[in-house]
Amino acid sequence: MKTLFERSVTGRHCTILPACDVPECTPEITRKSEMRLPELSETDISRHYTELAKQTFGVNDGFYPLGSCTMKYNPKINETAAALPGFKNIHPTQDHVQGCLELLHTAEEYLCEITGMDAMTFQPAAGAHGEMTGLLLIKRYHELKGNTQRNKIIVPDSAHGTNPASSAMCGFTVINIPSAPDGCVDLDKLREACGEDTAGLMLTNPNTLGIFDKNISEITKIVHEAGGLCYYDGANLNAVMGIVRPGDMGFDCIHLNLHKSFSTPHGGGGPGSGPVGCKAFLEPYLPGERIVEKDGEYALDPRGAESIGAVRGFHGNFLVVVKAFTYLLTLGREGVPEVAKNAVLNANYLKHLLETTYDVTNKGICMHEFVITMEEMKKINGVSAMDIAKALQDYGIHPPTMYFPLNVHEALMVEPTETETKETLDEVAKIFLELHAKALEDPEYLHSAPHHSAITRPDEVTAARKPVLRFPFND
Ligand SMILES: Cc1ncc(COP(=O)(O)O)c(C=O)c1O
């Protein structure tokens, strides 16, 4: 597809600007050369962006089972609420506007109730940013107690990849512990890893294999007895929200991904929202100003010297919180657990339809996602996870997450989410089964897939290592 610059024709234009009614600027500050802009008609531009839009794939286009990402449908009412002028047009320094403060305060209250925490900050702009913030709370807690030798964070190998990365970024040493054969934390290995230098444990639950750790209370007990704190990666809350609360399982802090569980759109690197909740004893260390309510009036309460300091401006991505709050109001108290139940039901239904044909790693009931391994198939006839993922695109299905989790070879991680119907899941299962049969009889067809998409198999390594980010003007 051509870029706008390649479509440009000298002299073509579409601007209908009114005559200039202000003095033209002085020569010292005018451009010395013409601005290099593409010259196009409105039709050219309109068709260009329509063509581009057709080449993208979103939750509104079709099934999007991107494991670990909870690509659920984002209700339109969320957008309508976030577009209300009173929310959309507010400036962050108008920090006394009661409606906005009330929304943030109530959203905090609801999310604390869902997670079993006592306080929450909306500053972090993404899940990993929330992890960093939560870990800094843990760090501050140990520092203020004089326990500076507590510099290790235990991370099971079934954790999301951002967990060890965030720990290292906060200056902790990461202690990786292997999972037991059932995919849960190996309690003996955890006991061995805990000691005087343990700052805490970071647990992704349900983990990256889609398993809820059956020993969860024992895990937090072991870590607490060793003097460490427990961090819950709550990005997979979609499987458990409204059913069980991390705060009741013994966790001291948590981050949520509003852009996953709470139906706000995923942006390319943002704007997301990764609020961090904590128990009361960590509250003084939270970043940003706290919103306090007194006799129905809301006000900002500045942080004391114990705070870790701001991790982002104001209250983070405010409009994302508006969308998540709208979602919570739409669901109500009964709707939140319904979401989790249906997310788990949909994953188990699809897993059931596929597991006699595909090699699924979770043998029992899974939570909101499950993992297929193509390892055996690849050994037999070379058909890989990548080949299946590419072939799915020909059927209007977004590929599942590939080659993750790292502890499964040739992994395809499937997360259907609760917003898909039984008809869609049946249709998707039929396509997966068809592709499996094709892989056995005509592997070449899969190696060369996709056959009908605009882009087939780009050189992803070169694209990542040597990205071309600028149009190469030849003059
Ligand atoms: C379990 C888990 N933790 C953390 C993250 C990181 O979130 P983000 O991509 O918003 O930084 C993700 C992302 O999907 C996740 O699935």
Query: Which CATH number belongs to the domain containing residue 227 in this structure?
Result: 3.40.640.10
Residues 320 and 216 placed together within one structural domain of the fold: yes
Q: What is the number of structural domains in the chain?
A: 2
pLDDT value of position 100: 97
Residues 263 and 137 placed together within one structural domain of the fold: yes
Contact by Cβ (8 Å): 291, 301: yes
| Preceding peptide of 450 cis, ω within 30° | yes
* Cβ(415) – ligand 1 distance below 6 Å: no
* Cβ(264) – ligand 1 distance below 6 Å: no
pLDDT value of position 363: 86
Mean pLDDT of the chain: 95
User: Do the domain assignments include residue 17?
Assistant: no
Q: How far is CA 240 from CA 277, 339, 364, 368, in A?
A: 16, 9, 17, 9
Q: pLDDT at residue 314 above 70?
A: yes
* pLDDT single digits (tens) 365-374: 999 999 999 9
pLDDT value of position 303: 83
Q: How far is the CA of 200 from the centre of ligand 1 (A)?
A: 19
Residues 252 and 122 placed together within one structural domain of the fold: yes
Residues 176 and 101 placed together within one structural domain of the fold: yes
Last residue within a domain, chosen from 297, 330, 363? 330
Instruction: Please tell me whether residue 380 adopts helix, strand or coil conformation.
Output: helix
Q: pLDDT at residue 407 above 90?
A: no
Pairing of strands 411-414, 401-402: antiparallel
Residues 109 and 199 placed together within one structural domain of the fold: yes
Confidence grade of residue 95 (pLDDT, cut at 50, 70, 90): confident
* pLDDT single digits (tens) 225-268: 999 999 999 999 999 999 999 999 999 999 999 999 999 998 75
Q: pLDDT above 90 covers what percent of the chain?
A: 86
Tell which residue, 224, 222, 272, 220, has the closest CA to residue 246.
Answer: 220
Task: Assign residue 56 a region (left: φ > 0; alpha: ψ between -120 and 50; beta: otherwise).
Answer: beta
User: Do the domain assignments include residue 109?
Assistant: yes
Residues 186 and 313 placed together within one structural domain of the fold: yes
The arithmetic mean of pLDDT across residues 314-330, rounded, is 96
More confidently predicted of 349 and 15: 349
* Residue minimizing CA distance to atom 5 of ligand 1: 127
Residues 153 and 237 placed together within one structural domain of the fold: yes
Q: How far is the CA of 365 from the centre of ligand 1 (A)?
A: 23
Whole-angstrom Cα distance, residue 338 to residue 438? Answer: 37
* pLDDT single digits (tens) 168-193: 999 999 999 999 999 999 999 999 99
Task: Assign residue 271 a region (left: φ > 0; alpha: ψ between -120 and 50; beta: otherwise).
Answer: beta
Q: How far is the CA of 89 from the centre of ligand 1 (A)?
A: 29
The two tokens of residue 386 are 């990548």
pLDDT value of position 475: 66
pLDDT value of position 270: 57
Ligand 1 probe mutation, 68, 71, 131, 162, most atoms within 8 A of CB? 162
Residues 341 and 421 placed together within one structural domain of the fold: yes
Confidence grade of residue 453 (pLDDT, cut at 50, 70, 90): confident
Question: By residue range, what is the domain housing residue 397?
Answer: 334-462
Report pTM. 0.92
Q: How far is the CA of 129 from the centre of ligand 1 (A)?
A: 9
pLDDT value of position 27: 86
Residues 302 and 346 placed together within one structural domain of the fold: no
User: Do the domain assignments include residue 35?
Assistant: no
Q: Which atom of ligand 1 is least distant from the CA of 274?
A: 10
Contact by Cβ (8 Å): 233, 155: no
* Cβ(160) – ligand 1 distance below 6 Å: yes
**Taking the mean position of all CA atoms in its chain, how far away is CA 161?**
12
Q: pLDDT at residue 25 above 80?
A: yes
* Cβ(130) – ligand 1 distance below 6 Å: no
pLDDT value of position 372: 97
Last residue within a domain, chosen from 330, 358, 383? 330
Q: pLDDT at residue 355 above 70?
A: yes
The two tokens of residue 24 are 């033209």
User: Do the domain assignments include residue 66?
Assistant: no
The domain spanning residue 355 has which CATH number?
3.90.1150.10
DSSP one-letter string for 409-464: TTEEEE---TTS-HHHHHHHHHHHHHHHHHHHH-HHHHHT--SSSS-----HHHHH
User: Do the domain assignments include residue 452?
Assistant: yes
* pLDDT single digits (tens) 30-39: 888 888 899 9
Q: Which atom of ligand 1 is least distant from the CA of 70?
A: 14
* Cβ(134) – ligand 1 distance below 6 Å: no
Q: At what angle do helices 385-393 and 422-441 cross, to 10 degrees?
A: 120
Whole-angstrom Cα distance, residue 115 to residue 317? Answer: 20
More confidently predicted of 405 and 389: 389
More confidently predicted of 376 and 27: 376
Strand partners, 121: 276
| Amino acid code (one letter) for 361 | T
User: Do the domain assignments include residue 23?
Assistant: no
User: Do the domain assignments include residue 55?
Assistant: no
* Cβ(253) – ligand 1 distance below 6 Å: no
Strand partners, 230: 201
User: Do the domain assignments include residue 61?
Assistant: no
Last residue within a domain, chosen from 311, 330, 349? 330
Residues 231 and 340 placed together within one structural domain of the fold: no
Ligand 1 probe mutation, 157, 205, 257, 404, most atoms within 8 A of CB? 257
* Residue minimizing CA distance to atom 8 of ligand 1: 127
DSSP one-letter string for 124-174: --SHHHHHHHHHHHHHHHHHHTT-TT--EEEEETTS-THHHHHHHHTTPEE
Q: Which residues contact 4 (CB under 8 A, 6 or more apart)?
A: 38, 40, 45, 48
Residues 171 and 315 placed together within one structural domain of the fold: yes
The arithmetic mean of pLDDT across residues 145-152, rounded, is 97
Residues 338 and 326 placed together within one structural domain of the fold: no
Q: How far is the CA of 162 from the centre of ligand 1 (A)?
A: 7
Q: How far is the CA of 133 from the centre of ligand 1 (A)?
A: 14
